[in-house]
Chains A and B, each alone.
Chain A
Amino acid sequence: MNLRLLLLLGLLCLGPAGAATDPQAVLKAIVDNQRGGSLRATLTLSITRPERQTQFVLEVVSDGNDRAITWVKAPPKEAGQAFLRVGDNIQLYNPSLKRVLRLPPSGRSDSFLGSDLSYSDLAGRDLEQDFIPRVETESDSSITLELIPKPQAPTPYGKLVLLASKPGFVPREVRYYDQRGQAVRKITFAQFAQVGGQSFPTQTTVEDLLRPGHRTQVVYSNYRFGIAVPESCFSVRALEAGC
């Protein structure tokens, strides 16, 4: 048996599994579902703590890529605050000071409106860019990807485990593990809206697994996808004046 034949047999044995699932393609499909395209929506941000529960109503406009603007509408005490994200830059509008402030690097880990989301999460980088995916398990109805950070990737986590349902690779759950193998954070997705053939999760729940009882839920309502968003929406002026 010559070497060429051996190689051919090997490839035939490995072939079906490798060809069925390209982890990079699956990850791209999952991320595409999360993006959803341009959007204007009302968000209800519910923050649960062991001793209290707080709710914010936000209005958000996004171009579906790396630009988004968010206004706080309720409760009245917090209303008027606004946040503009353009790429990794975040600017805040404080109605009491009537001033726009640029978020310094030291403020990026600060909690967004006291929730379990940080400003860094809002300016979240692409999973595709920072992680190497590997198919952990796969069935007819679901797939689990293990995402390992690339060298020097800006993530403090040891790995992410991403669960998606099939067909369509709809994101269901992301678990964040520290570098010692302990799950520290969980994000679950539910209530999917069909947008241009993709399933956009309109309910996202973030749980801090290190602090029981710490939970944040984001629910989209009155959403309109695929709208034309004027450029002026992503300007500093829009923080105060709206668009």
Chain B
Amino acid sequence: MLTSTLALPRLAWRNLWRHRRRTLLLLLVVAYATLTIVLFWGINDGFIQSILYGNARYLGAPVLITTPAYFQDPDPEQGLPSLGFLSQVETQPGVRAAAPRLEFPGLVRSAYAAEAVRVRGVEPALEARVSRIPSAITQGRMLEKPGEVVLGQQLAERLDVRLGERVVLDTSALAGPQALGLQVVGLVRSGVAPVDRGAVLVHLGDARRLTGLATATAVALDVPRGQESRLARALNLELPPGLRAYDLSQLLGGLAEALQTRQGSVFLIGLLFSLFAALAVTSTVLVSVLERTREFGIMEAIGMSPQRLAQVVTLETILATALGWGAGLVLGYALNYWMAVQNVLGPVFASYGAAWEILGTGSEIYTAQSPWYALFAATIIVLAALFLILIPARRVLALNPAEAMRTE
């Protein structure tokens, strides 16, 4: 009976529940480690997605169509030759909205101070469909007509201007040095430092008047999350010569590379988590083996070979860790899902203040969900099995039944 293939798992399973407290302890250790790993990756990926999402929605766009020259040197002189392609882009499957933008460097002045800024000329109704800045206006309203300006709240504070007051915008582009007085109609408080410190939104008509560019410097597209690269590639096959669609990772440039580099180090941290969890499992099993020396001695005395015994111990551990893993996954994914639909992390991270706002995540941070997290957590089982073969199983193999039976 003992020699049959199925007998070992059955014996291991029975042994697990003969030592309930020990098994529950092992199960708890693994469940906790699994939950931690699932949450760790969920928060990490969610955080990175929040940075990308924040940068896309507040600072850039999920996909941006412009000229390669403007992409290299963002000067209005390198702007779009025409906006004739706009209707073609709007009908592209997956493109939810397209908004022309005219961005240019300028100087914004009040009666008390002046600040160098990057100005974004927008079509007010369309911009709200591709950017979150309009929805982050906490005082006043979004632009409605030319002659108005929306400022980041911190910028307005530095300039000491209030709603309804006038600021002057100076620039020098195709039209030569130009200046315009604009009435402040809205203040943005997004929780994204570059936006709150420097956002300047003006009507596209005013931007055209100031720069002398009759078109726009780019067209921002709203596309479903995760579809940015695919749609940019598809658009590049359709766009007229001299225009290119850039996806989020291309638009973010250095930031995207930095995030990828960071992912490498985060993976190592995740592996360390698994390693510590596996060591905790191994030490629990080792204590259990030491406590069960007499029992093992009897089992060997009644005919079980040391190899079989070692296999039973390893199987017991694998079953217990698998159960703990399963329980940890259920709890981890449930908690992760809750934090993916509720903005639990946003207020927590917001408490770090300005140091956090500079990353551009916005005030909402959600966890990410991926089946890969289950696999990452499974490394605990693999590592625990490896350590078991190295330490407790070898101890079982070296057991002398006569001595073992005398052990108290």
Which A residues fall within an 8 A CB radius of B?
87-89, 104-109, 120, 123, 125, 149, 151-158, 176, 178-180, 184, 210
Contacts and interface: CB of A to CB of B under 8 A. Distances in A.
Contact of A152 (B113, B170, B176, B181): B181
Name A's interface SS.
loop
Nearest to B177: A88
Name B's interface SS.
strand
Contacts of B171: 105
A108 B169 CA distance: 11
B111 A157 contact: yes
B172 A105 contact: yes
11 contacts: A88-B172, A89-B172, A105-B116, A105-B172, A123-B177, A152-B147, A152-B181, A155-B166, A156-B167, A158-B166, A176-B111
Contact of A109 (B114, B166, B177, B180): B114
Name the 10 nearest CB pairs between A and B, nearest first: A109-B114, A106-B116, A154-B179, A88-B177, A178-B111, A156-B111, A179-B165, A105-B107, A154-B168, A105-B170
A179 B111 contact: yes
Interface string B112-146: 11101000000000000000000000000000000
A227 to B, nearest CB: 28
A93 to B, nearest CB: 19
B109 A156 contact: yes
Contacts of B112: 178, 184, 210
A108 B111 contact: no
A110 B176 CA distance: 19
Contact of A155 (B113, B172, B181): B181
Given A88-B176, A104-B172, A179-B166, A109 B181 contact: no
B110 interface: yes
B106 interface: yes
Contacts of A125: 179
Contacts of B178: 88
B16 to A, nearest CB: 71
A109 B167 CA distance: 13
B198 to A, nearest CB: 12
A149 B111 contact: no
Nearest to B160: A178
A61 B105 CA distance: 31
B61 interface: no
B166 A104 contact: no
A101 to B, nearest CB: 13
A107 B107 CA distance: 8
Given A109-B107, A178-B112, A156 B168 contact: yes
